[in-house]
Structure 1
Amino acid sequence: MKVKIGELSERTGASVRSLRYYERQGLLAPMRQDNGYREYSILALDQVQTIRFYLDLGFSTEQISGFLNCVLKNKEAFCEEVLPIYEQKLKEIDEQITLLNQIRGNLKDRITSIQLERNQVQEEKI
């Protein structure tokens, strides 16, 4: 069974624009009809859902392209390409969490400082 880009979009929730982007990134490879229309195999449904899953996890299309074929053919656990990418992503997330915690701490300190200053000014007025 073959599907056109509009139907693939509708069935996967990915916009037509996203599907064309996935194609440009080498993540999807539609066949072309004589009139130039894209035509996808039914397997593209699973492929697009897998792409969207990894995008939702925060991976780039470049990272996904490094392991997508393996994941689609095998289980994730059997794809050696996946583990180092996961480890790198986890490291990036941990670094972001550390930075966000520092920013959070700085903001809390500023809030406390501002509140103390306001209280002192109000006490001086009394």
Structure 2
Amino acid sequence: MLINQLATRSGVSTRALRHYDRLGLLSSRRLDNGYRDFEECAVEEVRRIRLLLDIGLGLQAAAEILPCFAEDGELTACAEARQQLRVQICEVDSSIAALQQTRGLLSGTLDNLVES
């Protein structure tokens, strides 16, 4: 299928698909006219990439985890997936702590405001 068809079926822009292809996250072959041609399984591959990006992983981490998906589309308990997900949880915990600190400062500042 051509990139426009993949974009329509996956809900991902052609620009993003080209980027994934350049990074080796997707595989395509070039037609005689230079267009990218994707296999049917590319729709599922894009779904997996988007899932990993949606949980906050970067493209490099996603590339490391993609081989951990089983044929049925489920993420398996491979070492790379476990490690990347642990790292992501630590990053989320750090963000939450920073936001809680900021909220505390905002709340304290608001409490100290004198109404005029």
CA distance in structure 1 between the aligned counterparts of 2:41 and 2:79, rounded to whole angstroms: 23
Structure with the larger helix share? 1
RMSD of aligned residue pairs (Cα, Å): 1.4
Structure number with greater CO (CA < 8 Å, separation at least 6) is 1
Q: Which structure 1 residue ranges, 5 or more long, are not aligned? A: none
CA-CA distance at 1:52 after TM superposition: 0.7
Q: TM-score, normalised by structure 1?
A: 0.86
Other-structure match for 1:46: 44
Would the aligned equivalents of 2:28 and 2:36 in 1 still touch at CA under 8 Å? Answer: yes
CA distance in structure 2 between the aligned counterparts of 1:70 and 1:112, rounded to whole angstroms: 50
Q: Counterpart amino acid of 2:104?
A: G
Between 1:22-31 and 1:102-111, the stretch displaced more is: 22-31
Matching of residues 1-126 of structure 1 within 5 Å: 3-73=1-71, 75-114=74-113, 117-118=114-115, 122=116
CA distance in structure 1 between the aligned counterparts of 2:70 and 2:7, rounded to whole angstroms: 19
3-state DSSP of counterpart to 1:76: coil
CA-CA distance at 1:77 after TM superposition: 2.6
Q: TM-score, normalised by structure 2?
A: 0.93
Q: Which structure 2 residue ranges, 5 or more long, are not aligned? A: none
Bigger Rg, structure 1 or 2: 1
CA distance in structure 2 between the aligned counterparts of 1:27 and 1:11, rounded to whole angstroms: 17
- Identity percentage over the alignment? 33
String of CA shifts for 1:2-61, please: whole Å, max 9, x gaps.
x11000000000000110111122101211101110000001010001101111111100
CA distance in structure 1 between the aligned counterparts of 2:107 and 2:31, rounded to whole angstroms: 60
CA distance in structure 1 between the aligned counterparts of 2:35 and 2:9, rounded to whole angstroms: 18
